[in-house]
Amino acid sequence: MSMEKTLVSIIIPVKNSSTYLADCLSSIKAQSYKDIEVLVVDSHSADATLNIAKQFGVKILQFEKKQKMGIFDAPFKRNYGVEHSKGSYVYYVDADMQLPQKLVEEIITLFGTGQFGALVVAEDSVGSGIWAKAKQLERRCYWGDDTIEAARVFTRKTWNAMGGLDTSLGGGGDDWDLHQRILSSGLKIGRTKNYVLHNEGNLKLSSLMKKRFMYGRDSIKYLVKKPKASFVSYFPIRLAFIRNWRLFAKSPIVSATFIIMRFCEYAAGFAGIIYSRFDYD
């Protein structure tokens, strides 16, 4: 398959994502590899999200939410976007992510070796404020950590063989579950050297706790489906933090903030799990 004729489909689930979407789409437009289709999967945004998507000339899909979808609709939107895409390779990103210029080119090169069925693209954080710096420290500790990072780029053959994401899961469980199913099938998962930037904006502790509470409400499903794997993924003390002790030593203030952030996130996540027990079947 010729590199110049290999279509890559990028799926972006959105909902009132106007704050970050333009930067995301601009980074895709600036890719050194040009044979890309972009599918924005919306669920009736009330802000300027669709106007921004139209300005970039991408394909817009409207996804209709169903009553029994649970808290998170991202797995549904991602599956829906891939279903309507045409690329030989599919890559789902979030609206607040920015792709480095040569990322898709590297994806094409790695898949061209024929070694991999999927790829992990590591994330770095950008944003303003001390909490954004703490989140950046966390993400950098996860680089190369197979227990927390999950594949987001797939060959069409791999995606079809796996049946896409398990839509009964959410809060990260859908990503981890698919990653583990691919490995269990005997396929290899590679890693890009390029990483995406996750735009945290002016991050607040309250927003982190709210997000973690929502994740906690849904994480029970992954805990039930994959108890051993979920224990490793959710355990608060990670070897990655020990391996990256130099990152913590560089900035004691950020490190202290990181500890507070992690404690608050886990408290909020645990509260979400407890809350979910009232309505989890």
What domains are defined for the chain?
Answer: 3-276 (3.90.550.10)
The terminus-to-terminus CA distance of the chain in angstroms comes to 47
Among residues 210, 172, 142, the alpha carbon closest in space to that of 78 is found at: 172
Tokens of 161: 């063989």
Going from the C-alpha of 123 to that of each of 102, 126, 151, 220, 263, the distances in angstroms are: 15, 10, 12, 25, 22
The C-alpha torsion from 261 through 265 and 271 to 273, rounded to 10°, is: -160
Nearest 5 degrees, angle CA 48-CA 49-CA 53?
A: 115
Q: Which two tokens mark 151? A: 């594949």
| Side-chain-facing half-sphere of 267: CA atoms under 13 Å | 9
> Cβ atoms within 10 A of the Cβ of 52, count?
23
From first to last of its 281 residues, the chain has per-residue pLDDT tens of: 445 579 999 999 999 999 999 999 999 999 999 999 999 999 989 999 999 999 999 999 999 877 566 667 889 999 999 999 999 999 999 999 999 999 999 999 999 999 999 999 999 999 999 999 999 999 999 998 888 899 999 999 999 999 999 988 866 788 989 999 999 999 999 999 999 999 999 999 999 999 999 888 877 777 777 767 666 667 777 888 999 999 999 999 999 999 999 999 999 988 988 887 775 44
Torsion of CA 101, 106, 112, 116, to 10 degrees: -130
Give the pLDDT confidence score for residue 233 in this predicted structure: 67
pLDDT recorded at residue 72: 73
Cα–Cα dist 195/124, whole Å:
7
- Long-range CB pairs of 179-187 (<8 Å, 24+ gap) are 179/118, 179/120, 179/150, 179/151, 180/226, 180/229, 182/117, 182/118, 182/151, 182/154, 182/158, 185/117, 185/161, 187/116, 187/117, 187/118, 187/158
CA distance 243 to 146: 14
